[in-house]
């Protein structure tokens, strides 16, 4: 039997489960002359739900797609496939060349998007103070500030020409119904649950907070902000598309909004607190987190995740321990210490040396079943024992905090959802929690696990 082992980040799994929500996405689109513009302020007349799909983000995302950026090249849904097929002929457009010159990628695409607006002539121009966008370019190590600013007018000229040449306005208008259906799901399952008043303690009101969902992508979320000429800070959260926008999506959007709170704090701590500087750099992992390429950006993530946890605890009565546990599993081993820097939290100190050390944090006792062995065709050997739980009321908290990380093709371990095994595989000791639902990853019969590595 063939074995399959897959590793994903906490949010990377979104791409795997995001399929096409609707089956009637047309394969052609009309270039009508009288269609209305899709903007972030469009509303469903019957429900008052805002259209969260934004022209600017979709436009700049398309440039990144054509420029070959993998994080903007999803083809998991029919709409994404249609984007790739329809606009492939524009891959050599000057605007795509400029996108490569500017090295637009990850959240830099999003930062460009929300700094754009339309002037009276209908052209895209940059609004207000673009210093935050400039800072991101410099933070990523892409440009010196002067060189970047010299390219800005050239990019705008190319962007506007691209918008005209591609007929992108009409393409978006044709899919307005699809966008509004997504927007309604997002509104009902996520947006309506956000406690915007919580952010007021940090100087941000609801009218300063904007969400953009991107049907062109299924994996990445982004956060950012711009400084308005009115002296206020405007905060943005960019969300990938999803079949339902249920589950983790609420925490996901809070995370992106929290960046505007956390990043300025991390800037100071990174310069002034030696331990925080060390934690941020010790956590760098370019294989697992290619978007977090320098210590400061990892520092942004640490403080953002800490404030996201604080929001969830204070507003939704979520248990703290599984939230911290999930972040440690997700690649942020110092998250408990960072959380303690923004609260009066007393360090628990998770013990990853033993099964009891992990399960004990959730109040669960255990015994081990008989050892079993499976020999793979390539010579690898999997040894495992069932972990028989008692006092397992806390198991739901563990499962809720688990990022999917490992999949085996076939029912090798004989587990069901919620079952736990202790395994020796690939030179590691692992605690595997079965979190399968349906037929994950399109592999009939596969089981998906969250793998907790035990220290040697």
Tell me the DSSP string of 171-194.
HHHHTHHHHHHHHHHHHHHTGGG-
Query: 443 Cβ partners below 8 Å, 6+ apart?
Result: 4, 407, 409
Query: 400 Cβ partners below 8 Å, 6+ apart?
Result: 322
Q: Kindly tell me the burial class for residue 330, based on how many C-beta atoms sit within 10 Å of its own C-beta (0-12, 13-18, 19 or more).
A: buried
What pLDDT, on the 0 to 100 scale, is given for residue 61? 94
Tell me the helices (H) and strands (E) count for the chain, helix number first: 16, 12
- Give the distance from CA 173 to its chain's centroid: 27
Residue 244: closest CA among 190, 313, 175, 176: 190
Tell me the DSSP string of 17-59.
H---S-S---SS----SSPPPP-TT-B-TTT--B----HHHHH
Q: Kindly tell me the burial class for residue 59, based on how many C-beta atoms sit within 10 Å of its own C-beta (0-12, 13-18, 19 or more).
A: buried
Q: Where are the domains of the chain?
A: 14-226, 252-342, 355-454
Residue 433 to residue 402: CA distance in whole angstroms: 8
Per-residue pLDDT 10s for the chain (456 aa) are 444 443 333 333 322 222 222 223 333 333 222 223 334 344 444 456 788 999 999 999 999 999 999 888 888 899 999 999 999 999 999 999 988 887 777 778 888 888 888 888 888 888 766 776 777 667 666 667 777 777 888 888 999 999 999 999 999 999 999 999 999 999 999 999 999 999 999 998 999 999 999 999 888 888 888 888 788 888 999 999 888 888 778 999 999 999 989 999 999 999 999 999 999 999 999 888 887 889 999 999 999 999 999 999 999 888 888 889 888 888 899 999 999 999 999 888 888 888 888 887 777 889 999 999 998 888 889 999 999 988 666 565 556 556 666 777 667 888 888 888 999 988 889 888 887 764 344 455 678 888 888 876
């Amino acid at each position: 039997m063939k074995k399959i082992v897959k590793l994903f980040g906490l949010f990377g799994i979104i791409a795997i489960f995001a399929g096409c929500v609707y089956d009637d996405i047309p394969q052609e689109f009309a270039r009508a002359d009288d269609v209305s513009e899709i903007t972030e302020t469009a509303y469903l007349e019957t429900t008052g739900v805002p259209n969260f799909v934004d022209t600017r983000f979709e436009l700049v995302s398309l440039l990144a797609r054509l420029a070959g950026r993998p994080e903007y090249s999803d083809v998991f849904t029919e709409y994404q496939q249609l984007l790739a097929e329809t606009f492939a002929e524009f891959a050599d457009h000057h605007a795509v060349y400029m996108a490569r010159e500017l090295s637009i990628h990850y959240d830099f695409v999003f930062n460009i998007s929300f700094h754009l607006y339309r002037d009276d002539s209908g052209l895209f121009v940059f609004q207000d103070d673009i210093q935050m966008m400039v800072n991101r370019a410099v933070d990523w190590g892409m440009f010196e500030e002067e060189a970047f600013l010299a390219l800005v007018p050239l990019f705008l000229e190319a962007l506007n020409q691209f918008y005209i040449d591609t007929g992108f306005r009409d393409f978006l208008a044709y899919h307005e119904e699809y966008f509004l259906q997504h927007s309604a799901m997002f509104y009902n399952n996520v947006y309506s649950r956000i406690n915007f008043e919580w952010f007021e303690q940090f100087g941000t009101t609801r009218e300063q907070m904007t969400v953009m969902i991107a049907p062109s992508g299924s994996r990445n979320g982004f956060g950012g902000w711009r400084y308005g000429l009115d002296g206020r800070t405007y905060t943005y959260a960019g969300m990938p598309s999803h079949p339902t926008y249920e589950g983790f999506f609420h925490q996901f959007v809070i995370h992106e909004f929290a960046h505007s709170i956390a990043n300025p704090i991390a800037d100071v701590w990174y310069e002034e607190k030696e331990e925080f500087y060390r934690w941020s750099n010790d956590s760098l992992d370019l294989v697992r987190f290619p978007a977090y390429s320098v210590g400061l950006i990892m520092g942004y993530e640490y403080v953002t995740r800490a404030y996201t946890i604080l929001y969830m605890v204070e507003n939704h009565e979520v248990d703290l321990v599984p939230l911290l546990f999930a972040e440690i599993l997700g690649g942020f081993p110092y998250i408990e210490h960072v959380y303690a820097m923004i609260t009066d939290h007393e360090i628990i100190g998770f013990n990853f040396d033993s099964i009891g050390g992990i399960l004990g944090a959730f109040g669960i006792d255990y015994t081990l079943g008989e050892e079993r062995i499976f020999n793979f065709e390539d010579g690898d050997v999997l040894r495992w024992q069932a972990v028989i739980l008692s006092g397992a009321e806390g198991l739901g908290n563990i499962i809720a905090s688990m990022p999917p990380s490992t999949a085996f093709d076939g029912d090798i371990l004989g587990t069901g959802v919620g079952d736990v095994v202790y395994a020796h595989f690939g030179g590691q000791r692992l605690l595997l929690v079965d979190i399968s639902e349906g037929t994950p990853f399109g592999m009939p019969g596969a089981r998906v696990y969250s793998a907790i590595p035990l220290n040697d």
